[in-house]
């Protein structure tokens, strides 16, 4: 990318844009979205003397650097996402100029379509534990919300992002794929393995990768660990969890590096 392209992108990001205040994903019973004095979710930042911005109305402003809040022309702020990651401001896309469309067709460039993601490796079925969970196009709060999952629904999860907080997700019911957050810092567990007792604490990513037989992910996370590795999961030792699922290869991979690792007896029980 040349300097001029970079400058154009920066200028485009700094220009005011129009958004729809949307309740389609949040499904809130409130009358609208509260103004804020600063780009913060704290109660102190809420402007209570003004009426909320009604749902389905239009607002204009510039995005903050992290894309979480929109600064309006009057100096107030509106959140782009709720604290649970559900998008409430949707940008109104400007119509593509005819000349640009003609150039795209001439170069045979693909249109910007949501083709769905194809994930590799073994999957595991999880149940949605929270009332609503955002289903996103990428592993971040800034990624486009493709919809939402509701409590009790089942989805199939695959690999993790680099942080180990987001997982690749396939919703077979609606034939769509994307990413979901496993635990929220405020609302707790969002998804947990289907058929298991609810575990409030975050699961150990190494233990889950071993239990589900995702050897490549296990190797990737082990390679990224520079300090002593902890295979202890809130549900028990990772070796025991993996062994219960017959993931012998993942069990053996843990043995040389597990903290306080115990040798396994032929019968499968940890040695004393």
Could you please state the CATH topology (level 3) that the domain comprising 3-91 is classified under: SH3 type barrels. (2.30.30)
Share of the chain above pLDDT 90, in %: 31
* Averaged pLDDT of the chain: 79
Of residues 255 and 111, more confidence is placed in: 255
Q: What is the pLDDT of residue 37?
A: 93
Domain ranges of the chain: 3-91, 122-199, 203-272
Kindly report which listed range (40-44, 76-80, 230-234, 258-262) carries the lowest average pLDDT score: 258-262
Mean pLDDT, residues 53-78 taken together:
87
Q: What is the 3-state secondary structure (H, E, C) of the chain?
A: CCHHHHHHHHHHHHCCEEEEECCCCCCCCCCEECCECCCCCCHHHECCCCCCEECCCEEEEEECCCCCEEEECCCCEEECECCCCCECEEECCCCCCHHHHHHHHHHCCCCCCCCCCCCCCCCEEEEECCCEEEEECCCCCCCCEEEEEECCCEEEEEEECCCCCEEEEEECCCCEEEEEECEECCCEECEEECCCCCCCCCCCHHHHHHHCCCHHHHHHHHHHCCCCECCEECCEEHHHHHHHCCCHHHHHHHCCCECCCCCECCCCCECC
pLDDT one-digit tens code per residue, 215-237: 988 888 888 765 567 778 999 88
State the pTM of this model: 0.55
Kindly report which listed range (79-93, 117-131, 249-263) carries the lowest average pLDDT score: 249-263
Which range of 20-34, 107-121, 154-168, 250-264 scores highest in mean pLDDT? It is: 154-168
Of residues 253 and 197, more confidence is placed in: 197
Same fold, 3-91 and 203-272: no
Which listed CATH number (3.30.390.30, 2.30.30.40, 2.60.120.10, 3.90.660.10) goes with 122-199?
Answer: 2.30.30.40
27 has pLDDT over 90: no
Q: What is the pLDDT of residue 100?
A: 52
Mean pLDDT, residues 78-97 taken together:
78
259 has pLDDT over 70: no
Q: What is the pLDDT of residue 24?
A: 83
pLDDT one-digit tens code per residue, 97-147: 555 556 655 654 444 444 455 677 889 999 999 988 988 999 998 888 888
Share of the chain above pLDDT 70, in %: 76
Which is the CATH superfamily of the domain at 203-272? Ankyrin repeat-containing domain (1.25.40.20)
Q: What is the pLDDT of residue 255?
A: 65
Task: Tell me the C-alpha distance between 124 and 136, whole Å.
Answer: 19
Q: What is the pLDDT of residue 101?
A: 53
């Amino acid at each position: 990318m040349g300097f001029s392209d970079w400058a154009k992108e920066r200028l485009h990001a700094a220009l005011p844009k129009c958004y729809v205040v949307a309740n389609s994903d949040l499904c809130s019973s409130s009358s609208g979205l509260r103004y804020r004095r600063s780009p913060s979710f704290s109660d102190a930042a809420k402007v209570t003397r003004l009426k909320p911005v009604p749902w389905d109305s239009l607002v204009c402003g510039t995005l903050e650097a992290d894309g979480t809040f929109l600064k309006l022309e009057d100096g107030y702020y509106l959140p782009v996402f709720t604290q649970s990651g559900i998008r409430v401001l949707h940008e109104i896309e400007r119509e593509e100029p005819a000349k640009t469309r003609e150039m795209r067709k001439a170069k045979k460039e693909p249109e910007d379509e949501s083709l769905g993601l194809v994930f590799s490796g073994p999957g595991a079925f999880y149940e949605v534990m929270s009332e609503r969970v955002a289903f996103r196009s990428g592993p971040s709060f800034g990624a486009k919300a493709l919809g939402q999952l509701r409590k009790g629904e089942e989805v199939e999860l695959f690999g993790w992002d680099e942080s180990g907080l987001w997982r690749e997700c396939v919703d077979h019911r609606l034939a769509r794929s994307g990413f979901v957050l496993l635990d929220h810092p405020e609302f707790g567990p969002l998804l947990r393995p289907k058929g298991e007792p609810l575990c409030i604490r975050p699961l150990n990513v190494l233990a889950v990768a071993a239990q589900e037989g995702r050897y490549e992910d296990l190797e990737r996370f082990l390679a990224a660990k520079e300090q002593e590795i902890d295979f202890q999961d809130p549900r028990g030792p990772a070796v025991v969890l993996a062994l219960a699922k017959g993931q012998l290869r993942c069990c053996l991979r843990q043995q040389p590096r597990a903290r306080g690792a115990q040798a396994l007896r032929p019968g499968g029980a940890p040695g004393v």
